[in-house]
């Protein structure tokens, strides 16, 4: 059971300084969210964990950081300009606008998706299943129209056709257009992957569920290039790799599932696609899309740019376009799943509620809190230790309120360890270290704290 509703989580995260409504003092901007002091640490920790496992410490992969604004021809080549669209439908009675595929998905609790269906088939499904307008209950819709999700803007001072540019709707294409550069400069051999983390933008018709679906969001994408014929093995490899990663990040295993796309749902260029889904309070939602994309993207760019993007296989001397497996995930979606998994409330014998954010150590914004027992006696030593520990891992210092309250505060923001500085510290050089989850306390020498916590932070 999730212990918190979406509304309660939003309020909790605001209160604690994780996530605020964007432009709040001006009444906000629909669907825009800002990460506060704790949120930015948490989100950075997710990105660093991904970078470590998928790029830096991964024997196959290397990284890239490409520009958000790209030559318009990129989106012509990939088909984004003509067909990166959602099927939009309006209720004729109350004029509420919906994504036709989402109406079907919500109605069928995710059992039926819109993937692979034509506009006519979508409408037919809606009418024959009597999927009424969730707002007013009517069953009268407009025809489905295609709505392009890319944000358009202009580069430079003249606003004409030639200056049109688009904010990228995915980071992946920055990787494909750099394939040749990376291959040449890194001298990598197949199989290898290129990973990237960055902002993407989609003018979503129905954003919502807090940071689950936003118009500006951050993606972590890997394009893994391999020899044609080996792609399904790699697909299966990355499918489990991504699931293991989520579990290591503390996402509740019981709420995770794979959803393999059926033949009808698969994109025409894909020979295998799986979504890793998480059970949110509103139902299962996609966290991670893992797709075997054949040579669709490289071929499209090779044809359109007229640049040869082939790989020369040193073993066989053959030239071919590599096949690609793409695991693609939104940072915000992992964050939301990790928060729903971590939030916990306990009631003690005195009927007091303890809120504990049981985040994995690797994700916790602060790894350690340093708390002087009595401010006037212990603050100086505690500050000295804070400076020392903060050099090694993210540490926070708190001297206000009684020690019990300070422990509760750290529990609620997910700090896994607290050390209390007291007379023993001044006389014997020891501190009491308290564990967030078990509330057990142990005594350690001040110098032992660093190796103790570093061991616990291993990921």
Residues contributing to the site for ligand ATP (CB under 6 A): 170, 202, 204, 213-214, 217, 219, 286-289, 328-330, 332-333
Tokens of 429: 């050089």
**Closest separation between CB of residue 262 and ligand ATP, Å?**
15
Tokens of 410: 């750290």
Nearer to ligand ATP, 214 or 294 (CB): 214
Nearer to ligand ATP, 84 or 366 (CB): 84
CB within 8 Å of 439: residues ≥ 6 apart: none
**Closest separation between CB of residue 168 and ligand ATP, Å?**
12
Q: In what order do the strands lie in the sheet with 85-90?
A: 97-99, 85-90, 145-148
**Closest separation between CB of residue 136 and ligand ATP, Å?**
25
Nearer to ligand ATP, 53 or 202 (CB): 202
Distance of CA 266 to the CA centre of its chain: 23
Nearer to ligand ATP, 45 or 274 (CB): 274
Nearer to ligand ATP, 16 or 171 (CB): 171
Distance of CA 243 to the CA centre of its chain: 13
Rounded Cα distance, 120 and 290, in Å: 28
Rounded Cα distance, 46 and 251, in Å: 12
Cα–Cα nearest to 324, from 189, 230, 428, 219:
230
CB within 8 Å of 237: residues ≥ 6 apart: none
SS3 state of residue 387? helix
For residues 419 and 392, is the Cβ–Cβ distance under 8 A?
no
- CB nearest ligand ATP: which residue? 330
Nearer to ligand ATP, 204 or 313 (CB): 204
**Closest separation between CB of residue 297 and ligand ATP, Å?**
13
**Closest separation between CB of residue 216 and ligand ATP, Å?**
8
**Closest separation between CB of residue 29 and ligand ATP, Å?**
15
Tokens of 180: 């040749």
Cα–Cα nearest to 167, from 177, 178, 156, 153:
153
**Closest separation between CB of residue 12 and ligand ATP, Å?**
20
**Closest separation between CB of residue 214 and ligand ATP, Å?**
5
> In 3-state terms, the chain is what percent helix, strand and coil (to 5)?
35, 25, 35
Alpha carbons within 13 A on the beta-carbon side of 231 = 25
Alpha carbons within 13 A on the beta-carbon side of 439 = 9
Q: What is the DSSP string of 110-177?
A: TSS--TT--HHHHHHHHHHTT---TTT----BPPPEEEE-PPEEE-SS--SGGGEEEE-S-SHHHHHH
For residues 307 and 331, is the Cβ–Cβ distance under 8 A?
no
Nearer to ligand ATP, 20 or 393 (CB): 20
**Closest separation between CB of residue 71 and ligand ATP, Å?**
21
Burial class (CB in 10 A: 0-12, 13-18, 19+), 33: buried
**Closest separation between CB of residue 169 and ligand ATP, Å?**
8
Rounded Cα distance, 274 and 236, in Å: 10
Nearer to ligand ATP, 38 or 290 (CB): 290
Nearer to ligand ATP, 214 or 430 (CB): 214
Nearer to ligand ATP, 171 or 420 (CB): 171
**Closest separation between CB of residue 152 and ligand ATP, Å?**
17
Q: What is the largest CA-CA distance in the chain?
A: 79
**Closest separation between CB of residue 379 and ligand ATP, Å?**
43
Residues belonging to the chain: 459
Nearer to ligand ATP, 50 or 407 (CB): 50
Nearer to ligand ATP, 118 or 428 (CB): 118
């Amino acid at each position: 059971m999730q212990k918190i509703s979406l509304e309660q989580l939003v309020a909790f995260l605001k209160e604690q300084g994780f996530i605020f409504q964007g432009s709040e003092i001006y009444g906000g901007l629909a669907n825009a969210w800002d990460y506060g002091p704790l949120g930015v640490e948490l989100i950075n920790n997710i990105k660093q964990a991904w970078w470590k496992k998928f790029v830096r410490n991964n024997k196959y992969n290397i990284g890239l950081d490409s520009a958000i604004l790209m030559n318009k021809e990129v989106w012509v080549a990939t088909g984004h300009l003509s067909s990166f669209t959602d099927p939009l439908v309006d209720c004729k009675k109350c004029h509420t606008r919906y994504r036709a595929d989402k109406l079907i998905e919500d109605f069928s609790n995710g059992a039926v998706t819109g993937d692979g269906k034509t506009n006519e088939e979508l409408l037919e499904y809606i009418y024959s299943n009597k999927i009424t307008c969730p707002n007013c209950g009517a069953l009268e819709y407009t025809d489905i129209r295609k709505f392009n999700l890319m944000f358009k803007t202009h580069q430079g001072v003249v606003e004409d056709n030639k200056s049109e540019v688009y904010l990228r709707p995915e980071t992946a294409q920055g990787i494909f257009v750099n394939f040749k550069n990376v291959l040449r400069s890194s001298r990598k051999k197949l199989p290898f992957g290129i990973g990237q983390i960055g902002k993407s933008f989609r003018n979503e018709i129905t954003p919502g569920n807090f940071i689950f679906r936003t118009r500006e969001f951050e993606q972590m994408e890997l394009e893994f290039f391999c020899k044609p014929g080996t792609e399904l093995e790699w697909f299966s490899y990355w499918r489990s790799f991504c699931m293991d990663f989520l579990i290591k990040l503390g996402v509740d295993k019981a709420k995770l599932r794979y959803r393999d796309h059926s033949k009808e749902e698969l994109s025409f260029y894909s020979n295998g696609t799986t979504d890793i889904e998480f059970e949110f309070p509103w139902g299962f939602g996609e966290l991670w899309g893992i797709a075997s994309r054949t040579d669709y993207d490289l071929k499209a760019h090779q044809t359109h740019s007229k640049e040869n993007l082939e790989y020369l296989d040193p073993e066989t001397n053959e030239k071919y376009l590599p096949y690609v497996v793409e695991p693609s995930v939104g940072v915000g979606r992992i964050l939301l799943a990790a928060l729903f998994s971590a939030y916990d409330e306990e009631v003690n014998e005195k009927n007091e509620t303890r809120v504990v954010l049981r985040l994995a150590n690797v994700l916790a914004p602060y790894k350690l809190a340093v708390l002087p027992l009595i401010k006037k006696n212990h603050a100086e030593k505690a500050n000295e230790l804070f400076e020392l520990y903060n050099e090694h891992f993210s540490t926070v210092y708190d001297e206000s309120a009684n020690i019990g309250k300070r422990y509760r505060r750290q529990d609620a923001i997910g700090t896994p360890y607290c050390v209390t500085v007291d007379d023993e510290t001044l006389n014997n050089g020891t501190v009491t270290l308290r564990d967030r989850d078990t509330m057990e306390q142990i005594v350690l020498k001040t110098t032992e704290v660093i190796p103790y916590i570093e061991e616990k932070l291993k990921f």
